[in-house]
Chain A
């Protein structure tokens, strides 16, 4: 099995200059856990809901709600994203992708075909592959 044989999560694509508040809203709207950051057609990073959550100030901040909101519109995705995410090609054997994800302790790989982002391969996508493999289904 190759990467392109499994269902890939369609990517939510953001520009590096997208504000953090807009990125948070878009990600929530799409119900995804990650978005890819693409600059002039080139993949530059990946941003997760976890990274956006971690960028929010704590409850003990001395800023007012309004100030926090204002600052979050000034902070851009490029400040918070993970640069150089792990990339696989659509024809990468699936076991190589699984091994990469497991050993690098990440939950997502970006699937790129000659610099073009084709989709995201998430741990949940891979669990669905495991769900579909016969032996488990045969002995529930």
Chain B
């Protein structure tokens, strides 16, 4: 994308001998913070609202009372304008425009062609471009997919579905495993606390490693891993809300009809986003089927 396609071509200018008061009005009328300063059609500088503010009397009443001698009528744009402003050519890339705006901390850059100013690129207009891009990305669907991993038989299908969906929608993928608080001393009465802590830590590290290993590195996806503790339903719902997940993917658990279905139902009822339940070996998990669906 080139600067010429997004610059605004209708803009006001001020001359360097314009009284500062008039320039201030022009800035207010244009609802902008930066206005180009021209002499005989050629750009000679930029006038920023903040420079006018800094030049003028104090905004604090106790100081402003001593500014009584200040009179804006005698000042012209020349007193506040920045000379030798940086400019862009119409063929410059939007990339260059953004770099210039960010590095110089400006909110508008003039576009100049053969010594005369032809347009202005403003931060505001660029935010509009970003907004269009975000809106169109949003319409295509998902932004963050959260896959619940219990390392049971449904895991492979759920992860494969998550990977396929994340890739298709260019979404971020997060794998979540919930450690159940089974180290509580009922099973191991009398064990020292340090030992339980150590075992818990080891399990956490091990599970983290297992999660990372689930997604092949060459998938090119941005994959995050998360280990939560506590009751699975509550922990998953809490993480899904914290991450603002757009889709929760869980594997179904046919072998544990009672427990498995219970958790799935709980998630469907309480999750802050839609829940996709994937049967082991179901078709969504394969890349080709998603590819066909997307085509």
Cβ of A127 and Cβ of B70 under 8 Å apart? no
Stretch in A11-19, A36-44, A46-54 with 4+ CB within 8 Å of B: A46-54
B133 CB contact (under 8 Å) in A50, A56, A133: A133
State the CA gap A140–B242 with chains docked (Å).
36
User: A135 with B1: in contact, given A54-B54, A58-B57, A123-B123 (CB under 8 Å)?
Assistant: yes
B126 CB contact (under 8 Å) in A33, A93, A107, A127: A127
Residues of A within 8 A of B63 (CB): 55-57, 61, 63, 68, 71, 75
B55 closest partner in A (C-beta): A58
Near A by CB (< 8 A), chain B positions 3-52 give 31, 49-50
State the CA gap A50–B51 with chains docked (Å).
8
Cβ of A57 and Cβ of B138 under 8 Å apart? no
State the CA gap A103–B145 with chains docked (Å).
30
Residues of B within 8 A of A5 (CB): 172
State the CA gap A128–B177 with chains docked (Å).
33
Near B by CB (< 8 A), chain A positions 54-81 give 54-63, 68, 71, 75, 79-80
Cβ of B127 and Cβ of A55 under 8 Å apart? no
Near A by CB (< 8 A), chain B positions 53-95 give 53-60, 62-64, 66-71, 93-95
User: A75 with B60: in contact, given A60-B71, A130-B126, A135-B133 (CB under 8 Å)?
Assistant: yes
A63 nearest CB across to chain B (Å): 5
B222 closest partner in A (C-beta): A5
User: A130 with B58: in contact, given A61-B67, A62-B66 (CB under 8 Å)?
Assistant: no
A106 nearest CB across to chain B (Å): 11
Cβ of A80 and Cβ of B60 under 8 Å apart? yes
Q: Is A28 an interface residue (CB 8 A)?
A: no
Cβ of A137 and Cβ of B95 under 8 Å apart? yes
Cβ of B128 and Cβ of A54 under 8 Å apart? no
Q: Is A105 an interface residue (CB 8 A)?
A: yes
State the CA gap A124–B123 with chains docked (Å).
8
Is chain A's binding surface mostly helix, strand, loop or mixed? helix
Q: Is B130 an interface residue (CB 8 A)?
A: yes
B54 closest partner in A (C-beta): A53
Cβ of B50 and Cβ of A127 under 8 Å apart? no
User: A54 with B105: in contact, given A60-B69, A94-B134, A98-B127 (CB under 8 Å)?
Assistant: no
Q: Is B143 an interface residue (CB 8 A)?
A: yes
Q: How many residues of B contact A (CB 8 A)?
A: 48
State the CA gap A85–B217 with chains docked (Å).
43
Residues of A within 8 A of B138 (CB): 93, 95
A79 closest partner in B (C-beta): B60
Residues of B within 8 A of A95 (CB): 131, 134-135, 138
Cβ of A61 and Cβ of B123 under 8 Å apart? no
Residues of A within 8 A of B (CB): 1-2, 5, 33, 49-51, 53-63, 68, 71, 75, 79-80, 91, 93-95, 98-99, 101-102, 105, 107, 123-124, 126-131, 133, 135-137, 139-140
- What are 27 inter-chain pairs, A to B, with CB distance below 8 A? A1-B137, A2-B143, A50-B54, A54-B54, A55-B58, A55-B59, A57-B67, A58-B67, A59-B55, A60-B67, A61-B57, A61-B70, A62-B66, A71-B62, A75-B60, A75-B62, A79-B60, A91-B242, A98-B131, A98-B134, A99-B131, A102-B131, A107-B123, A127-B130, A129-B130, A131-B99, A136-B94
- A-B complex: 5 closest residue pairs judged by Cβ atoms: A54-B53, A53-B54, A60-B70, A95-B134, A91-B244
Told that A95-B135, A130-B133 touch, could you supply 20 new A-B pairs with CB distance under 8 A?
A: A5-B172, A51-B59, A55-B59, A57-B58, A57-B63, A60-B71, A61-B58, A61-B63, A61-B66, A61-B70, A71-B63, A98-B130, A98-B131, A105-B31, A123-B107, A123-B123, A123-B127, A126-B130, A130-B98, A130-B130
